[in-house]
Structure 1
Amino acid sequence: MATFIISLCAILMLTTVSGLICRKVQLPEVIGQIL
């Protein structure tokens, strides 16, 4: 059970980190398109 919780937390952290990276990468492109 503990390993399941740890893996779940790891997946959540990975998804949030990847989401933040995607936002940081996409933000300049979106701003460039608007300007």
Structure 2
Amino acid sequence: RKCMQPKDFNFKTPENDKRFQKKFEKMAKELQRQKASL
């Protein structure tokens, strides 16, 4: 994917990674829910 800018990943620490992963999971779930409701 090219929608994310490389500079967003310059500060990758485990802490940020976990937080980002949680956010990403939430977003993915939201997307799936939206697709299901369509």
TM-score (norm: length of structure 1): 0.66
RMSD: 0.7
**1:6 positional shift:** 0.2
TM-score (norm: length of structure 2): 0.62
- Deviant stretches of 4+, over 3 Å: none
The CA deviation string for residues 1-35 of structure 1, in whole angstroms up to 9 with x for no partner, is xx11100001001100000000000013xxxxxxx
Runs of 5+ in structure 1 lacking a partner?
A: 29-35
**Which of the pair is proportionally richer in helix?**
1
Runs of 5+ in structure 2 lacking a partner?
A: 1-12
* Structure number with bigger Rg: 1
Q: Distance in 1 between matches of 2:32 and 2:14?
A: 27
Aligned length: 26
